[in-house]
Amino acid sequence: MSTVMNAIITDDGTEIHYRDWGSGRPVVLSHGWPLNADSWESQQLFLAEHGYRAIAHDRRGHGRSTQTWEGNEMDTYADDLDCLISTLDLREVTLVGFSTGGGEVVRYLARHGSARVRQLVLVSAVPPFMLRTPDNPEGLPVAGFDALRAGSRADRSQLYRDLADGPFFGNNRAGATVSHGVRDSFWLQGLQASARSAYECIAAFSATDFRADLTGLDVPTLVIHGDDDQVVPLAVGGARSAELVDGAELVVYPGAPHGITDTHKEQLSADLLRFLDSSPTSLDRQGAHHA
């Protein structure tokens, strides 16, 4: 593991681009599909201005990171995140994962433990398990994910346009006021991802089972989800995750869509700041446990 300007290099030679703003206790922000670190810019700026070191990275195959052929699945995403955290020697980290990024941070904790982690926040996140299977009847039919794959192969530029103009930001709801600029940003970020990585990531976020990962979490956890999320419905995602994580706090945004990092950015930033200031350090937790 090593670094170049604004990037760390993983053991397989992949460059993971990151932005590192502010100083103080670190907050690491993991983005959704098919986006990159730019999708966190509002929260990253806010947190850096409020005394935190806010770090957002581009997942492999996305944004400015290497467009890898292999490794487009959750275990490797989690290992890349571990490389970032270890290389920068971050401690007392608050991990924040949006959508697919929620799976990445949960899998990181399952594979690498919580020694460096203080808190976890899941925002519109894909855990515990999106795909409907015999032992997960509450999940979503595979046909929807197959349609994403078909759209990705046929005309992924139009697929991203349709998602941005429709369900991602709730722009298909009566009275929606999502700007063209916000929707164009989603489209542009999507096209910065490689076709291969974006295609394979659909399986990564939909067919990865995080249920056992969640039940093993041992850090304070905040779950934030909109109750009009048409991409990861509340009943499939946030509500079930909160049930599986011991002591998790669930905050539901009434009428909110999937992309609340943009549509509810002031509310989300305020909730993140409240939670960041709310819990003891890992040393405090260990002392309380042993007492």
Q: Is 229 a catalytic residue?
A: yes
Three-state DSSP class for 157? helix
Peptide bond before residue 128 is cis, with ω within 30 degrees of 0: yes
One of 58, 229, 262, 271 is an active-site residue; which one?
Answer: 229
Q: Which helix (H) or strand (E) holds 183?
A: helix 180-192
Sheet strands side by side (includes 7-9): 2-4, 7-9, 15-21, 52-57, 25-30, 93-98, 117-123, 221-226, 249-253
Please tell me the distance from the alpha carbon of residue 228 to that of residue 170, in angstroms, as a whole number.
8
Type of residue at 55: I
Report the C-alpha gap between 16 and 50 in whole angstroms: 26
Q: Is residue 99 among the annotated active site residues?
A: yes
| Alpha-carbon dihedral sign for residues 69, 203, 234, 26 | negative
DSSP 78-115: HHHHHHHHHHTT--SEEEEEETHHHHHHHHHHHHH-ST
Judge residue 134's burial from the number of C-beta atoms within 10 Å of its C-beta, 0-12 exposed, 13-18 middle, 19 or more buried. exposed
CA contacts within 13 A on the Cβ side of 167? 10
Q: List the catalytic residue out of 30, 39, 65, 99.
A: 99
Catalytic residue among 39, 258, 262, 282: 258
H or E element at residue 167: none
Tokens 């349609």 belong to 147
| Residues involved in catalysis | 99, 229, 258
